[in-house]
Amino acid sequence: MKCVYCFQPVHPKTDWRNAFLPGRPSRLCEECMNGFEVITEGCPRCCNPRYSETCPDCRQDSALLSNTSLLFYNDFAKEWMARFKYRGDYELIASMSVFLPYFVRGKAVPVPLSDVRLEERGFNQAEAITELLMKRPRPYLKRSHSEKQAKKSKQERERGANPFLPVQQVRGNLLLIDDIYTTGTTMKQAAAVLKENGADSVRGLTLFHS
């Protein structure tokens, strides 16, 4: 077996993770695996690894109850992400499943891409992560493509900068899924629309926290 990232041979027997996660054999070599930094401590609300108390981005109230991020978006993760976006390689995203929790609560809502972006990229990385979590992606949101203000309809201007639109009424506790959490603006905007449309609660899960 070869590492899906660097193509060096992987020796599954010597990888301790395989002993604990038999259903999810690591497809990354040890060196690549060690390139990722698992977040063990951070802001209690958004997992920002630079803080141990509530970070400045989380001090204001928002529709997003909390966010869990699994890995620090370090230089290795940035390179990995650039390659993943370029190749759109399912093997590459599947290699991340060793870092994902076995079980997550709530209906999974992948953060959507705009139609234009989806056309360009050919896949939605948030949806790929949702599938790795063995969850059914719920298409509760649409995302409008950011264009010049003049091109926006009156309704869009009134909505301000929020690019998300509801697709249907929703119910229950939702889990918003995305690849990277930066300041949380995207997740908070998406959460606000879901709450307005009937969600009981919205939490977030992202692979990386920058």
Residue numbers at the binding site for Zn ion (CB under 5 A): 3, 5-6, 29, 32, 43, 45-46, 48, 55, 58
Least distance to Zn ion, CB of residue 87, Å: 15
Least distance to Zn ion, CB of residue 132, Å: 19
Phi, psi of 121 (to 5 degrees): -90, -30
Q: Which is nearer to Zn ion, 58 or 176 (CB)?
A: 58
CA dihedral 192, 146, 131, 44 (to 10 degrees): -40
Q: Which is nearer to Zn ion, 3 or 191 (CB)?
A: 3
Least distance to Zn ion, CB of residue 24, Å: 16
Least distance to Zn ion, CB of residue 49, Å: 10
How do 37-38 and 67-72 pair as beta strands?
antiparallel
Q: Which is nearer to Zn ion, 47 or 141 (CB)?
A: 47
DSSP code per residue over 45-114? TT--TT-SS--GGGSS--S---EEEEEE--HHHHHHHHHHHHH--HHHHHGGGGGS-S---SEEEEPPPP
Q: Which is nearer to Zn ion, 55 or 133 (CB)?
A: 55
Least distance to Zn ion, CB of residue 169, Å: 30
127's tokens: 């949806």
How do 164-166 and 141-143 pair as beta strands?
antiparallel
d(CA 133, CA 108): 9
Q: Which is nearer to Zn ion, 9 or 122 (CB)?
A: 9
d(CA 203, CA 195): 11
